[in-house]
Amino acid sequence: MPDSLSPLFPALTPNRHGMLAVDDIHTIYWEECGNPDGIPVLFLHGGPGAGLSPQHRRFFDPQRYRVILFDQRGAGKSTPLGEWRNNTTQLLIDDIEVLRAQFGIDQWLVFGGSWGSTLALAYGQAHPAACLGFVLRGIFLCTQAEIDWFIEGVRWFYPELYAEFAAPIPPEERGDLLAAYVQRILSSDPAVYWPAARAWSRFEGRRVYLMPQPEDAPNDALDLGVGRLESHYMANLGFFEEDQLIRNMGRIAHLPAVIVQGRYDAICPPLSAYRLQQAWPGAQLEMIPDAGHGALEHGIASALVRATERFVPGRGFA
């Protein structure tokens, strides 16, 4: 069970891990944790490009779950880091199916937060028969309105962060900050792409939590993965048609789901979670009143653990 100081289960190490070449460019890192005979669950990290953390293993009872986690193309321990070529939502979905076959899994629970919720929905809509259900957090539907909010709308709450983000861009380019950053972040010149990637990562990272957190140590892997891949995916509308994930909800509406959303999420505002639940009447939306975007904020982490417990046989959904 979770310990007294944290809603999460105790730390655990992978039973096995490895690297899998998925094409001529990309090799992805994967790991398997928990009970090999337990309920299969797929963990999808955010970003795109944010990669895994050891904390991500702790949302699941290791006695009851077989947890499969992987770093998506260009993220974390996958190589090459920050690579945007051959990197689309459709290719990530293909990678998930390769992993499912590798592990011999017929169906699994799909767990994802932020961009991970986007990928979870896209994967489920492409392969509904492979899914037992969903646990989703900080919903991002990858619509133009949400991307506009991420770049421009947030200035209403974090004007100082927006000013810092816009400052390195010449005034004549500030009418389209996304395009200006993509041009720099995807440059081949380290003197150009490193400052842009770090600025992008700071712009997002400093508004993850409701309450201010101590500054993290510099993390080049996170900055490059998040900066390059988030800007790449946003510039391409996530490789979706506009509002595709809502329009295709009929493909998975029969499956159970829990949606966990921070009320004061300044990265993925609650409207998207509300829209998703309205399109998915069987899904249960839990709005956390004292949380922002962070999966490890106490209220959100507690709700996510409760959600995974509900999929254990005899408890709620299962």
Which residues are the active-site residues?
114, 265, 293
Q: Return d(Cα 201, Cα 204) in angstroms, integer.
A: 5
Would you say 235 and 178 are in contact if contact means Cβ atoms under 8 Å apart?
yes
Q: Return d(Cα 35, Cα 33) in angstroms, integer.
A: 7
Neighbours of 313 (CB within 10 A): 9
Cis status, amide bond into 80, omega within 30 of 0: yes
**Amino acid letter at 36?**
P
Would you say 280 and 141 are in contact if contact means Cβ atoms under 8 Å apart?
no
The phi-psi region of residue 114 (left if phi > 0; otherwise alpha if psi is between -120 and 50; otherwise beta) is left
